[in-house]
C-alpha cells in the first residue's frame, strides 16, 4: 500500500496527487490498510470524536510516503438537495411530545440535531412534567437507537411483511364472527384515540375481551377509592399545600409516581429560606426508598404490617368515633411514633396528607382516604378525579384470560406492547398458553413475548409515531414523532385500527381525526396549538366530589384485613434500572446506580442487617426464595434501614430474550410473583451456598472512618430546623483567609459561573446523572469496569448513611466537578491540559491531555474520570446517532470531567452576542443536570451578579463548601440538608 502511494507521489504533481489520495482514501482497500496497520486506531475512525487519531495515523502512514502525504483525508460536504422548513444546518429543533410509562404520562420536549432526536427535556407546560424529567424519560432516547430492537415483521421467525400480516389478519378476522375467540392483551394506555378504537372493536366483536396489564400498576389505588367512595378514582395529592405528610409505604418521590410533579411540589416545601414553613414527612415503609431518605421520621415495617399501622393511625386520629381494634401489636416505639404523627396531623387539619403506596391493598387506600377526610384534607391537599385509564380488577381479567386460553376458547390473541409472557403473574405457564392460540404480538424488542408469538410485529418507539396520551389528571397531549420509524415499526394505535377494520390506519390520521371530532370547528388552530404547546387545553378531568361513609367503609376494612403472618416475606418493587424490564436493554440505566444500594448492572434481594444475620448471608450470597411452590434465586444485598423479615426484589431482570446489553443481566424474580403475592406475601428464604458478584459504585456507607471511628466533617452538613434558624440569625460564618502559593485570577469582572446544590431538596433520583450522560456523550463501561472503579459519570450521587445501622438516616449528595478556583488538578498537569477560564470554569482540553492521571490523584473530590480504554470502540453505527454534536466523544487515555455544560454556555453566549451583544440573562443558561432535576435542587448562574438566583443562594446561612479547609474555593457549593424533626420524637 505504501508503495502504491509512493508511486502516485513520484508520478504526479502535488495537486494531481490530491485526486489520487482522494480516490485512495475512499477505497475499501485503503480502509483495510488502515485497519491492518493500526487496528486500535482504525476502530476509532468511525467514531466522530477521535478523527484526530485518523489524522495522526494518516500522518504516520503517509509520512513515509513523502511530505505532501502528511495532508488530511478528504471529507465530503453533503448539503440537502431541497430545503426542509425551519431547518438550519447546525441549529437544533425542539418538538413537544409526550410519553407514558405504566399508564403515567408526562409531556416532553425533544431536541433534534440534523434530524436526529438527541436529548429529552421536560415540557414546562405539562402539569406532570413542569419542565423536569425522570431518569427513565432521559434514557428513552437511547432505546430509540437500540440496534437490538424488533426490526422486522416475522411469522414464527420467518421474514415477512406488514402487507402479509394485514392480509393474514383479514382472513383471520373473517373467522372471528362475534369475536368470542378474540382477546386483546395490551399494556396500560391512556390514549383517547385508542379508547375510541377500543369501543369500535367492542362494537365489532361484542364477545371479544380487551385485557390491560401492567406489571407495575396502580389498580390498588383506584380500587381503594372504589372501596371508600364506591367509584374508581385517582387521588391527586397537592404536596406543596401539605405541612405534614404521612406516607404509608408510598415511594411518592421515587418509583411510585413516575412523574416529576410530586417531587417538584414536595421539594418546594423543603427550602427554609423561601419563608414557607418546612413540611414534615413521616414515612412508614419496608424497603429503604429515597422517600424514606427524605423523611424526617421513618418507621420500618413489613409491607404486610403497614395495614395494621394504618389502622392504628386511624384509631389515633379517631376517624369514625367508633373503637378500632388494631391487628397485631405495634411496638411501644411505633405507638409513640404514631401518636406523635397523629397529633401532628390533627394540628394541621386541611394542611396535612396521608398517602398510601400502590403496593398496599385497597383497604389501606380506603383508610388513607378516610383519614384525609377526617383531617379535612379532601378537597384541600387531596382531590379526586376519574382515572385516565380503564381501572378494574386486572388480575381477575388476567386469570380469566389464562383459563380461556387453557380451555382453547381463544382463537386469536393480539398483544399490543409490553412483555406479558415475561411479566404476567406466574400462576400460569404463559409460554405454553400462548401456543394455544394464534398470537400476534406487537413488541418493542425481540422479547419473551415476541419469541412466543405466531406473528412477530415490531413496535414503534414513542418518538417515532403519532399518538396521544392523558396525564393522570386527564390532561391530554399529542405524541408527535421526531423521526421516521427506524425499523418500520408501528404503534398499538395502528394495529388497533386494523382490528377495528378502519380504512385509515396511519397513526397521524387516527389521532388527527379523533381530535378533529372532539374539536369540531376551529380544529386546525387547536391542532397546531396542541402540537406547539404539547398539552391540550380543557382536557383536564374535573375534580370529583368524593365523600366516604366512614363507619360502613371501616367495617368493610375491618372485615377484610387479617393480621399478617409472622416470618419472612417478599416484596416486589419496580427497578431503578429497568423499571419493569422495559429498559432492560438500556445501558445508561444499567450503569446508573440504584440510589440507595448503589448497585449497578444487577438486581438483588435487599434485606436488613438483622435478617441477613438470621439467614446467615452477606452481600452476594445467593438466596433461594420460594412461595406457593415456586422458586427463584437472587443474590442477597444488605441494606441498612430495611425492615426486618422482609426481602425487597426488583422486577425486570434476568431477561432471557433480550438485546445484547440486557441479556442475562440480573435475576428474574417474576417467577415468584403470582396473583396471590402480586406485590408482597410470605415466602421461604434459604441460603444456597452459591455466591454471585454484585457491583456497587460506592463501597462505603457512612461518613464514619473505619479504624478511628471519627466522623468526617465538611462533606455533608445537616442541621435540624432549630439549628438552621440559629445559624440564620448569626449569619454565615466567616471564611478564614488562607495564603495561596500561586497568584489568583481576577474574578471581579465579567461572568463568573457558579452552582448551588440544595441537599435539602435533592431526593437522589438519578435524573441528573442520566441527563448528564445524554448531554455529554458519557460512555458506558459495563459491570466489570465499574467493579474496577472506572465508571465515567461526570456527576454522581454520593449516598451517606448516618446513625444506627439498623435504622439509619440517609442523605444524598450530587457530586460533580466543583470547579475549584484554586484547583489542585491544574497545578499538577504537566501539559496544561486542565486550566482555568477567566469565568471560573476549570476547563479540560481533551486534545491536550496526555493522560498522566496526576490530576485525578490530586483531586480531593475524585470527580475526574479517565478513559482507561476506548469505551466508544464497539458502538454500533445506529447507536452513534444519539451523540450530542456539540460535545467531543473522548478517546482512550484522556481525562474528562464536568465542565458546567460549557457547550450550553457558549451557545447562549454566541446567541446573546448575535442579539446585539446583550448580556446573558440569569437563568438563560441551564445545565443538563439542572434542567432535568425535578426537585430544583441545582441552580446555576453568574455569581458576579448579586441579583442572580445562585448568588442569592450562596448568601444563605446554610451554604457551605465541601472540604472547605483545603482552600480549593469550589464554585459549586452546597446548601446544607435541613431536617424538620418532630420535637416530640427527638
Partner 1 sequence: MTVFSKQFDTKLRLAAGAVVVLLGAGGAIAAYLFHPRQIDTGYTPVQPVPYSHKLHAGNLGMDCLYCHTTVAQSNYAAVPMTEVCMNCHVRVKEKSPKLQPVRDSYASGKPIPWVKVHRLPDYVYFNHRAHVTAGVSCVSCHGRVDQMVEVRQVQPLSMAWCLECHRNPAPHVRPPELVTKLDWQPEGDPAVLGAKLIREKGIHPPDNCSACHR
Partner 2 sequence: MADLAIDPRLELNPPLVQGGMTYSDVTGKISSIVEGKAPKQWWIAMAVAVPLAGLLFLCLGYLVATGIGVWGNNSPVGWGWDITNFVWWIGIGHAGTLISAILFLFRQKWRTSINRAAEAMTLFAVACAAIYPLFHTGRPWRAAYWLFPLPNEFLHMWQNFRSPLMWDVFAVSTYGTVSALFWFVGLVPDLATLRDRSTTPLRKTIYGLLSLGWRGSATQWRHYELAYLLLAGLSTPLVLSVHSIVSFDFATSLLPGWHTTIFPPYFVAGAVFSGFAMVVTLMTLARWIYGLENLITMKHLENMCKVMLATGMIVGFAYGTEFFIAWYSNNQYERFIFLNRAFGPYWWAYWSMITCNVIAPQFFWFRKFRTSIPAMFVLSIFINIGMWFERFVIIATSLHRDFLPSSWGYFTPTWVDIGTYLGTFGLFLTLFLLFLRFLPSIAISEVKGVLHQQVSAGHAAHGGSH
Residues engaged in binding partner 1 (CB under 8 A): 15, 18-19, 22, 49-52, 55, 67, 70-72, 74-83, 88-91, 835-839, 841, 843-848, 886-888, 899, 902-903, 906, 909-910, 913-914, 917
Cα atoms in the Cβ-side hemisphere of radius 13 Å centred on 461: 27
Nearest in space to 404 (alpha carbons), one of 443, 442, 434: 434
Among 113, 558, 837, 852, the residue binding partner 2 under the rule CB under 8 A is 852
* Residue 70 contact among partner 2, partner 1, none, beta carbon within 5 to 8 Å by kind: partner 1
The reply on whether position 501 binds partner 2 by CB under 8 A is no
Cα atoms in the Cβ-side hemisphere of radius 13 Å centred on 35: 8
The reply on whether position 74 binds partner 2 by CB under 8 A is no
Nearest in space to 697 (alpha carbons), one of 858, 577, 825, 849: 577
Among 422, 541, 588, 800, the residue binding partner 2 under the rule CB under 8 A is 800
Q: How far is the CB of 785 from partner 1 (least distance, A)?
A: 24
Name the segment binding partner 2 (CB under 8 A); options: 357-365, 417-425, 608-616, 786-794. 786-794
Instruction: Assess contact for 360 and 249: CB atoms under 8 A.
Output: yes
Instruction: Assess contact for 668 and 651: CB atoms under 8 A.
Output: no
Q: Torsion-angle region of residue 851: left (phi > 0), alpha (psi -120 to 50) or beta?
A: left
Q: How far is the CB of 960 from partner 2 (least distance, A)?
A: 15
Q: How far is the CB of 832 from partner 1 (least distance, A)?
A: 9
The reply on whether position 158 binds partner 2 by CB under 8 A is no
Instruction: Assess contact for 969 and 737: CB atoms under 8 A.
Output: no
Among 93, 196, 556, 715, the residue binding partner 2 under the rule CB under 8 A is 715
Helix 492-500, helix 507-519: angle, nearest 10: 80
Q: How far is the CB of 820 from partner 1 (least distance, A)?
A: 16
* Residue 841 contact among partner 2, partner 1, none, beta carbon within 5 to 8 Å by kind: partner 1
* Residue 22 contact among partner 2, partner 1, none, beta carbon within 5 to 8 Å by kind: partner 1
Q: How far is the CB of 589 from partner 2 (least distance, A)?
A: 21
Q: How far is the CB of 59 from partner 2 (least distance, A)?
A: 11
State phi, psi for 809 to the nearest 5 degrees.
Answer: -100, 160
**CB nearer to partner 2: pick between 39 and 90:** 39
The reply on whether position 4 binds partner 2 by CB under 8 A is no
Instruction: Assess contact for 108 and 120: CB atoms under 8 A.
Output: yes
Q: Is 150 exposed, middle or buried (0-12, 13-18, 19+ CB in 10 A)?
A: buried
Among 206, 664, 789, 923, the residue binding partner 2 under the rule CB under 8 A is 789
* Residue 860 contact among partner 2, partner 1, none, beta carbon within 5 to 8 Å by kind: partner 2
Q: What is the dihedral of CA 116, 446, 160, 489, to 10 degrees?
A: -30
**CB nearer to partner 2: pick between 64 and 850:** 850
Name the segment binding partner 2 (CB under 8 A); options: 114-122, 309-317, 401-409, 860-868. 860-868
User: How many CB atoms neighbour CB 382 within 10 A?
Assistant: 24
**CB nearer to partner 1: pick between 842 and 973:** 842
Q: How far is the CB of 486 from partner 1 (least distance, A)?
A: 20
* Residue 350 contact among partner 1, partner 2, none, beta carbon within 5 to 8 Å by kind: none
Q: How far is the CB of 71 from partner 1 (least distance, A)?
A: 6
Q: How far is the CB of 742 from partner 2 (least distance, A)?
A: 7
For residue 909, the SS3 value is helix
Instruction: Assess contact for 885 and 115: CB atoms under 8 A.
Output: no
Name the segment binding partner 2 (CB under 8 A); options: 363-371, 510-518, 674-682, 701-709. 701-709
The reply on whether position 45 binds partner 2 by CB under 8 A is no
Residues 6+ apart with CB under 8 A from 373: 319, 547, 548, 550
The reply on whether position 862 binds partner 2 by CB under 8 A is yes
Among 699, 746, 874, 947, the residue binding partner 2 under the rule CB under 8 A is 699
Rg (CA), the chain: 29
Q: How far is the CB of 861 from partner 1 (least distance, A)?
A: 20
Q: Which uninterrupted H or E stretch holds 511? A: helix 507-519
Among 264, 365, 577, 799, the residue binding partner 2 under the rule CB under 8 A is 799
* Residue 80 contact among partner 2, partner 1, none, beta carbon within 5 to 8 Å by kind: partner 1
DSSP 111-177: EEETTEEEEEEE-TTSTTTTT---HHHHHHHHHHT-TTB--S-EETTEE--HHHHHHHHHHHHHTTT
* Residue 52 contact among partner 2, partner 1, none, beta carbon within 5 to 8 Å by kind: partner 1
The reply on whether position 712 binds partner 2 by CB under 8 A is yes
* Residue 174 contact among partner 2, partner 1, none, beta carbon within 5 to 8 Å by kind: none
CA distance 58 to 279: 63
The reply on whether position 36 binds partner 2 by CB under 8 A is no
The reply on whether position 743 binds partner 2 by CB under 8 A is no
CA distance 412 to 438: 5
* Residue 51 contact among partner 1, partner 2, none, beta carbon within 5 to 8 Å by kind: partner 1
* Residue 710 contact among partner 1, partner 2, none, beta carbon within 5 to 8 Å by kind: partner 2
CA distances (Å), 171 to each of 106, 156, 157, 166, 308, in order?
A: 39, 18, 21, 9, 56
The reply on whether position 831 binds partner 2 by CB under 8 A is yes
State phi, psi for 452 to the nearest 5 degrees.
Answer: -85, -5
Q: What is the dihedral of CA 627, 631, 632, 634, to 10 degrees?
A: 70
Helix/strand/coil (H, E, C) string of 626-639?
EECCEEEEEEEEEC
Q: How far is the CB of 599 from partner 2 (least distance, A)?
A: 15
Q: What are the grid coordinates assigned to 515, written together?
A: 381530535
* Residue 18 contact among partner 1, partner 2, none, beta carbon within 5 to 8 Å by kind: partner 1
Strand-pair partners of 633: 624
Strand-pair partners of 477: 469
Number of residues that bind partner 2 (CB under 8 A): 59
CA distance 192 to 208: 20
Q: Torsion-angle region of residue 7: left (phi > 0), alpha (psi -120 to 50) or beta?
A: alpha
Q: How far is the CB of 759 from partner 2 (least distance, A)?
A: 14
Q: How far is the CB of 41 from partner 2 (least distance, A)?
A: 9
Per CB under 8 A, residues contacting partner 2 are 39-40, 56, 698-700, 702-703, 705-708, 710, 712-713, 715, 742, 785, 788-790, 796, 798-800, 813, 815, 824, 826-832, 848, 850-854, 856-858, 860-862, 864-870, 892-893, 962-963, 966
Amino acid at each position: 500500500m505504501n508503495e502504491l502511494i509512493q508511486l502516485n507521489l513520484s508520478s504526479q504533481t502535488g495537486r494531481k496527487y490530491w485526486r489520487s489520495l482522494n480516490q485512495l482514501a475512499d477505497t475499501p482497500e485503503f480502509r483495510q490498510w488502515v485497519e491492518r496497520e493500526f487496528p486500535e486506531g482504525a476502530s476509532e475512525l468511525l467514531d466522530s470524536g477521535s478523527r484526530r487519531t485518523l489524522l495522526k495515523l494518516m500522518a504516520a502512514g503517509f509520512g513515509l510516503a513523502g511530505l505532501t502525504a502528511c495532508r488530511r483525508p478528504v471529507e465530503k460536504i453533503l448539503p440537502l438537495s431541497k430545503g426542509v422548513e425551519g431547518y438550519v444546518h447546525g441549529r437544533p429543533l425542539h418538538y413537544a411530545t409526550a410519553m407514558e410509562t405504566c399508564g403515567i404520562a408526562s409531556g416532553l420536549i425533544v431536541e433534534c440535531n440534523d434530524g436526529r432526536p438527541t436529548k429529552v427535556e421536560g415540557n414546562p407546560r405539562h402539569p406532570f412534567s413542569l419542565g423536569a424529567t425522570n431518569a427513565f424519560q432521559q434514557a428513552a432516547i437511547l432505546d430509540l437507537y437500540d440496534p437490538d430492537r424488533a426490526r422486522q415483521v416475522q411469522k414464527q421467525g420467518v421474514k415477512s411483511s406488514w402487507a402479509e400480516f394485514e392480509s393474514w389478519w383479514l382472513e383471520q378476522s373473517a373467522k372471528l364472527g362475534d369475536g368470542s375467540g378474540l382477546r386483546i392483551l395490551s399494556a396500560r394506555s391512556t390514549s383517547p384515540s385508542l379508547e375510541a378504537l377500543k369501543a369500535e372493536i367492542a362494537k365489532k366483536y361484542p364477545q371479544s375481551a380487551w385485557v390491560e396489564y401492567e406489571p407495575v400498576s396502580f389498580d390498588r389505588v383506584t380500587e381503594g377509592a372504589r372501596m371508600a367512595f364506591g367509584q374508581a378514582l385517582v387521588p391527586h395529592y397537592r404536596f406543596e399545600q401539605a405541612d405534614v405528610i404521612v406516607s404509608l409505604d408510598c415511594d411518592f418521590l421515587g418509583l411510585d409516581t413516575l412523574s416529576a410533579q410530586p417531587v417538584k411540589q414536595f421539594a418546594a416545601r423543603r427550602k427554609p429560606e423561601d419563608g414557607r414553613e418546612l413540611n414534615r414527612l413521616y414515612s412508614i415503609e419496608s424497603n429503604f426508598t429515597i422517600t424514606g431518605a427524605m423523611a424526617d421520621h421513618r418507621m420500618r415495617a413489613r409491607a404486610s404490617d403497614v395495614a395494621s399501622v394504618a389502622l392504628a393511625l386511624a384509631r389515633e386520629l379517631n376517624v369514625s368515633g367508633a373503637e378500632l381494634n388494631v391487628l397485631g401489636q405495634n411496638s411501644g416505639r411505633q405507638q409513640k411514633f404514631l401518636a406523635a404523627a397523629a397529633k401532628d396531623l390533627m394540628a394541621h387539619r386541611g394542611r396535612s396528607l396521608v398517602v398510601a403506596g400502590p403496593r398496599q391493598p385497597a383497604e389501606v387506600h380506603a383508610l388513607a382516604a378516610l383519614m384525609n377526610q377526617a383531617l379535612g384534607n379532601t378537597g384541600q391537599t387531596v382531590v379526586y378525579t376519574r382515572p385516565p385509564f380503564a381501572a378494574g380488577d386486572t388480575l381477575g381479567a388476567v386469570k380469566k384470560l389464562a383459563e380461556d386460553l387453557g380451555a382453547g376458547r381463544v382463537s386469536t390473541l393480539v398483544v399490543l406492547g409490553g412483555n406479558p409472557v415475561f411479566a404476567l403473574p406466574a400462576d400460569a405457564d404463559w409460554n405454553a398458553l400462548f401456543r394455544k392460540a394464534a398470537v400476534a404480538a406487537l413488541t418493542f424488542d425481540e422479547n419473551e413475548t415476541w419469541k412466543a408469538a405466531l406473528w412477530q410485529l415490531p413496535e414503534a418507539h414513542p418518538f417515532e409515531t403519532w399518538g396521544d396520551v392523558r396525564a393522570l389528571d386527564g390532561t391530554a397531549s399529542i405524541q408527535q414523532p421526531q423521526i421516521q420509524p427506524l425499523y418500520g415499526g408501528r404503534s398499538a394505535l395502528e394495529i388497533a385500527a386494523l382490528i377495528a377494520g378502519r380504512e385509515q390506519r396511519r397513526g397521524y390520521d387516527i389521532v388527527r381525526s379523533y381530535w378533529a371530532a372532539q374539536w369540531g370547528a376551529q380544529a386546525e388552530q387547536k391542532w397546531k396549538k396542541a402540537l406547539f404547546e404539547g398539552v391540550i387545553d380543557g382536557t383536564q378531568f374535573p375534580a370529583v366530589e368524593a365523600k366516604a361513609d366512614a363507619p360502613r367503609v371501616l367495617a368493610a376494612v375491618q372485615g377484610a384485613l387479617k393480621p399478617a403472618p409472622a416470618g419472612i416475606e417478599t416484596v416486589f418493587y419496580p427497578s431503578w434500572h429497568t423499571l419493569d424490564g422495559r429498559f432492560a436493554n438500556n445501558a445508561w440505566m444499567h450503569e446508573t446506580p440504584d440510589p440507595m444500594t448503589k448497585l449497578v448492572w444487577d438486581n438483588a434481594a435487599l434485606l436488613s442487617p438483622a435478617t441477613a444475620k438470621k439467614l446467615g448471608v452477606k452481600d452476594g450470597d445467593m438466596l433461594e426464595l420460594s412461595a406457593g411452590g415456586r422458586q427463584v434465586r437472587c443474590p442477597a444485598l444488605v441494606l441498612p434501614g430495611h425492615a426486618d423479615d422482609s426481602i425487597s426484589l426488583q422486577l425486570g431482570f434476568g431477561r432471557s430474550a433480550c438485546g445484547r446489553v440486557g441479556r442475562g443481566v440480573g435475576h428474574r424474580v417474576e417467577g415468584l410473583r403470582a396473583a396471590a403475592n402480586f406485590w408482597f406475601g410470605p415466602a421461604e428464604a434459604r441460603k444456597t451456598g452459591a455466591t454471585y458478584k454484585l457491583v456497587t459504585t460506592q463501597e462505603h456507607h457512612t461518613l464514619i472512618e473505619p479504624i478511628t471511628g471519627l466522623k468526617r466533617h465538611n462533606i455533608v452538613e445537616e442541621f435540624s430546623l432549630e439549628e438552621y434558624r440559629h445559624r440564620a440569625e448569626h449569619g454565615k460564618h466567616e471564611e478564614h483567609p488562607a495564603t495561596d502559593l500561586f497568584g489568583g485570577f481576577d474574578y471581579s469582572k465579567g461572568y463568573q459561573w457558579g452552582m448551588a446544590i440544595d441537599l435539602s431538596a435533592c431526593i437522589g433520583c438519578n435524573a441528573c446523572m442520566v441527563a448528564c450522560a445524554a448531554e455529554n456523550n458519557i460512555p458506558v463501561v459495563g459491570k466489570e469496569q465499574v467493579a474496577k472503579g472506572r465508571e465515567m459519570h461526570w456527576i454522581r450521587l454520593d449516598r451517606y448513611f448516618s446513625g444506627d445501622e439498623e435504622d439509619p438516616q440517609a442523605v444524598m449528595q450530587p457530586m460533580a466537578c466543583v470547579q475549584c478556583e484554586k484547583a489542585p488538578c491544574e497545578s499538577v498537569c504537566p501539559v496544561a491540559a486542565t486550566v482555568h477560564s477567566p469565568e471560573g470554569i476549570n476547563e479540560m482540553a481533551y486534545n491536550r491531555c496526555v493522560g498522566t492521571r496526576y490530576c485525578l490523584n490530586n483531586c480531593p473530590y475524585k470527580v475526574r474520570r479517565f478513559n482507561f480504554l476506548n469505551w466508544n470502540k464497539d458502538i454500533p453505527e445506529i447507536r452513534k446517532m444519539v451523540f450530542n454534536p456539540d460535545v467531543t466523544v473522548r478517546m482512550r487515555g484522556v481525562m474528562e470531567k464536568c465542565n458546567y455544560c460549557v457547550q450550553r454556555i457558549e451557545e447562549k453566549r454566541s446567541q446573546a452576542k448575535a442579539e446585539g451583544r446583550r448580556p446573558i440573562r440569569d437563568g438563560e443558561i441551564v445545565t443538563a443536570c439542572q434542567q432535568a432535576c425535578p426537585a430544583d435542587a441545582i441552580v446555576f448562574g453568574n455569581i458576579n451578579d448579586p441579583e442572580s438566583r445562585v448568588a442569592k443562594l450562596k448568601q444563605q446561612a446554610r451554604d457551605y463548601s465541601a472540604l472547605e479547609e483545603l482552600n480549593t474555593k469550589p464554585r459549586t457549593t452546597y446548601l446544607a440538608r435541613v431536617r424538620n424533626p418532630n420535637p416530640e420524637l427527638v
